[in-house]
Chains A and B, each alone.
Chain A
Amino acid sequence: MQSVTRQDLLDTALEKLADGTVSHVLGWSRGTFDYEATPTLFSDPDTLRTAFVWNDFCGANLSKYLIKHTRRLEGRLLVFLKPCDTYSFNQLLTEHRFERERVFVVGVPCNGMADPRKLKAQADGILSVTAEGDTLSVETLYDGTRTLAVADLLEERCLTCKSRRHAAYDLLLGEEGEVQDSARFDEVAAIEAMSPDERFAFWQKELSRCIRCNACRDVCPACTCEQCVFGNPSSGVENKAASNEFEEKLFHIIRALHVAGRCTDCGECSRVCPQGIPLHLLNRKFIKEINENYGVYQAGAEVGTRAPLVDFTLDDPEAETVVRRGDDA
């Protein structure tokens, strides 16, 4: 259950719309099902009142949508950002993707979001989902009404939440949380501990499921190039049919390299992957390596910091040292 209610968010948005602070509101509306929340732009208070949702399924990070909408629209946009989303917001500002003055950030505290996949695994034929305190009342087609604890349905990224403190906001609803001391690198360390053959088999199994839908790229707040090399229809590798197993692997290596040092570890890539590939483990590997070799760096913690891969010190370790480090562990 979230500590601020839908009414709190709605009141804030309506007030800011009414007093002319903002002209549009970026929030979520109900998707096809109750367990889906779709990012939506609202401009009229009536639609906002009826369609706006804030529940345990508002996992979508709204920061990337600001690029598109600030370019398209006049006036100022109100956006609701959860703590992890604010890191992406700062990173986008660092990269000059939009102007800070054009956005009014409302920070909303988050207690972790539920994963629709976990919900669907536990309940078949879901008709409706209603939040009741710390549980969800799930009405199903076959089993009647069931009650499931939100804590058992949390997204993987929320189980290893890195921060509940907002990195940026203009107005904060509810109470500010703290940076978490989470064990988010444990999964990476577990893979590192495998033998090279096991690692290869592990990634082969995961990455061969990729259908090259490009959802990870489209949702990634660090992937904001105007033209993407993977969107080029004459590249010969723009879809699954055109590529082979090598390119499947490569697509993900190149994407991870492209966002290395800029990835805020928001976990959106894994959330949207229709094949359930743990893509965040690639990005997290880079974050772990950067932290261990070049000093702890959290992308998006502040605006204007220099990403580690466009920076250097005179006594950086050699590539070979970096690769061999951890062999003794």
Chain B
Amino acid sequence: MQVKEFKPLIVAFCCNWCSYAGADLAGNNRLNYPAEVKIIRVPCSCRVNPTFILRAFQRGADGVILCGCHPGDCHYTSGNYYTRRRMAMLFSMLDYLGIERERTRVEWVSAAEGAKFAATMNDFVQTVTALGENKRLEDLRCKA
């Protein structure tokens, strides 16, 4: 029997005004980043309710990354500052509950940083692949 190679499922929430364009730029520049990354466009990183991230894990994600504008550059002036506090709290709670902290990440990527976007995603996918399947926050009913 052939053992199936583990391919993680990564959900990336990307802000419409920066990281989503950053992903476009990465594509235009022919920069590679893994196909395991599934991008969800949001109007602002602040749109991401912490429960979205939990929901992604429930639906089978092995890692969730949230990309937004650099602090100070938010299209709506202050959205990402709220995100920063919220995610800090969510991630520290997940860590407190014993869920691997490497599965969650926040990264600030501007629209001009296509290279950073590709590098970040490569690194994140590598990290999550090394961790293996998400066992601690999984819902068996949602697994194929």
* Residues of chain A whose beta carbon lies under 8 Å from any beta carbon of chain B: 191-192, 196-204, 244, 246-247, 249-250, 253-254, 256-257, 260, 282, 285-286, 289-290, 293-294, 308-314, 316-324
The verdict on B89 contacting chain A, using a C-beta distance below 8 Å, is yes
Question: Interface readout for B123-139 with A: 1 if CB under 8 Å, 0 if not?
Answer: 00000000000001111
Chain A residues with Cβ below 8 Å from B105 are: 319-320
Task: Assess the A198–B93 pair: CB atoms within 8 A.
Answer: no
Chain A residues with Cβ below 8 Å from B96 are: 191-192, 199, 282, 285
Nearest A-chain residue to B100, judged by Cβ = A196
Task: Assess the A312–B97 pair: CB atoms within 8 A.
Answer: no
Task: Assess the A200–B136 pair: CB atoms within 8 A.
Answer: yes
Nearest A-chain residue to B82, judged by Cβ = A312
* Residues of chain B whose beta carbon lies under 8 Å from any beta carbon of chain A: 50-51, 54, 58, 71-72, 78, 81-82, 84-101, 105-106, 136-141
Chain B residues with Cβ below 8 Å from A250 are: 54, 58
Task: Assess the B106–A320 pair: CB atoms within 8 A.
Answer: yes
Nearest A-chain residue to B94, judged by Cβ = A253
Chain A residues with Cβ below 8 Å from B88 are: 289, 293, 316-319, 321-323
* Contact of A309 with B85 at beta-carbon distance under 8 Å, contacts A250-B58, A254-B54 already known: yes
- A308 to B92 alpha-carbon distance, docked (Å): 15
The majority secondary structure among interface residues of chain B is helix
Task: Assess the B89–A198 pair: CB atoms within 8 A.
Answer: no
Q: Which of B71, B98, B140 is within 8 Å of A200, CB to CB?
A: B98
Q: Which of A191, A201, A290, A319 is within 8 Å of B91, CB to CB?
A: A319
The majority secondary structure among interface residues of chain A is helix
Q: List 13 A-B contacts (CB under 8 A).
A: A196-B99, A196-B100, A198-B98, A200-B97, A202-B98, A203-B98, A253-B93, A290-B89, A309-B85, A309-B89, A312-B78, A319-B91, A321-B88
- A260 to B85 alpha-carbon distance, docked (Å): 11
Minimum C-beta distance from A122 to chain B (A): 32
Task: Assess the B91–A244 pair: CB atoms within 8 A.
Answer: no
Minimum C-beta distance from B74 to chain A (A): 11
Task: Assess the A314–B82 pair: CB atoms within 8 A.
Answer: no
Chain B residues with Cβ below 8 Å from A289 are: 88-89, 92
Chain B residues with Cβ below 8 Å from A246 are: 58, 137-140
Chain B residues with Cβ below 8 Å from A282 are: 93, 96
Minimum C-beta distance from B113 to chain A (A): 16
- A202 to B96 alpha-carbon distance, docked (Å): 10
Task: Assess the A200–B99 pair: CB atoms within 8 A.
Answer: yes
Minimum C-beta distance from A311 to chain B (A): 8
Task: Assess the A199–B98 pair: CB atoms within 8 A.
Answer: yes
Chain A residues with Cβ below 8 Å from B87 are: 319
